[in-house]
Amino acid sequence: MEKLLDNIIQTNRKYVEEGEVASYIPELKKGNKNDLGVYVTTLNGEEFRAGDYETRFTIQSISKVISLIIAIMDNGEDYVFSKVGVEHTADAFNSITNLETKNLHRPSNPMINAGAIAIVSLIKGREPDEVFERILNFTRKITGNDNININREAYISEKATGDRNRSLAYFMKSTGVITNDVEKVLDVYFKQCSMEVTCKDISRIGAFLANDGVIPLTGEKVIPRETARIVKAIMTTCGMYDASGEFAVNIGMPAKSGVGGGIMAVAPEKMGIGVVGPSLDKKGNSIAGIKVLADLSKELELSIF
Ligand code: GLN
């Protein structure tokens, strides 16, 4: 298996040249464009890795999966999906027009920024610190990594420049999707995006979902199977934004990307896969990371279709 992963990384390294590291969050410019790594966690506890798997990166939008799970646990899915839709969009992850023109001013789905910010506003907690603490603790639990923390520089950088997200959030306040303090909600959102991880961590989140909400290493059932099913369905249709259709055809796994360069993929009943490659395509997905997942999916027949 490691030989296979090694080969796949070698073959696909060239694609890092075709993308760019994210720059709209200034701190992300520090990411190394040439990095490419992969980590696999199987449901029987085996782990395999290759390439720059030790690279640390901010989780960014992969965190949207975690907050969605917590919001469903807190409120039930009916309430959550009365606030945020579950429809794929053909627009960019931070689109403003999508929010104003579709779904009666509700965000289209929880994987785009507007939807994720609305989801964060639904998580229970007395103060923003408590809300974020719940997200952090949940992340630590399902990764089995108590050392996960915020990358302060990334958090401060995004908070200082996150005006697009601010405009989405204030618009949602005006339409009643968000009912609490916008700045407090955004603070939690910026923090959750700034959690620093490796592809080992995200492969473990994938394995937890592949195992229907039971942590493979400990056997602990953390969420109902039904919640895991819903989240995987939304990842399949919306997790790669406006590239989700192409990803379904070429790779065929529930997945979620982030502009830090990570992609978390789920092979149900088999394994979780974490990829890191900070060089991104125009849609904000790891350009070589997608190629790695395509090869892996073909070699191991991982497509769910
Ligand atoms: N923190 C980023 C943002 O809100 C997350 C976006 C992403 O990973 N696609 O813009």
Residue 260 CA, closest ligand 1 atom number: 8
Residue pLDDT, tens place only, 259-295: 999 999 999 999 999 999 999 999 999 999 999 999 9
Residue 284 CA, closest ligand 1 atom number: 9
How much is the pLDDT for 284? Answer: 94
State the number of CA atoms in the 13 A half-sphere of 278 facing the CB. Answer: 23
How much is the pLDDT for 222? Answer: 97
Pocket test for ligand 1, best of 193, 194, 202, 242 (most atoms within 8 A of CB): 193
How many Å apart are CA 131 and CA 153, to the nearest integer? 20
Average pLDDT over residues 127-134: 95
Binding site membership of 242 for ligand 1 (Cβ less than 6 Å): no
How much is the pLDDT for 103? Answer: 67
Decide if 79 is catalytic.
no
How much is the pLDDT for 269? Answer: 97
Residue pLDDT, tens place only, 73-123: 999 999 999 999 999 988 888 888 888 887 667 899 999 999 999 999 999
Pocket test for ligand 1, best of 27, 64, 94, 280 (most atoms within 8 A of CB): 94
pTM score over 0.95: yes
The answer to whether 238 touches 89, Cβ cutoff 8 Å, is yes
Q: Which two tokens stand for residue 286?
A: 């790891």
How much is the pLDDT for 235? Answer: 98
How much is the pLDDT for 271? Answer: 98
Q: Which two tokens stand for residue 32?
A: 């190394």
Residue pLDDT, tens place only, 184-221: 999 999 999 999 999 999 999 999 999 999 999 999 99
Query: Nearest 5°: phi and psi at 268?
Result: -50, 135
Binding site membership of 113 for ligand 1 (Cβ less than 6 Å): yes
State the number of CA atoms in the 13 A half-sphere of 205 facing the CB. Answer: 31
The answer to whether 58 touches 198, Cβ cutoff 8 Å, is no
The answer to whether 207 touches 271, Cβ cutoff 8 Å, is yes
The DSSP annotation for 28-84 comes to GGGS-TT--EEEEEETTS-EEEEESTT--EE-GGGHHHHHHHHHHHHH-HHHHHHHS
Residue pLDDT, tens place only, 13-26: 999 999 999 999 99
How much is the pLDDT for 104? Answer: 67
pLDDT band at 226 (very low <50, low <70, confident <90, very high): very high
How many Å apart are CA 8 and CA 37, to the nearest integer? 10
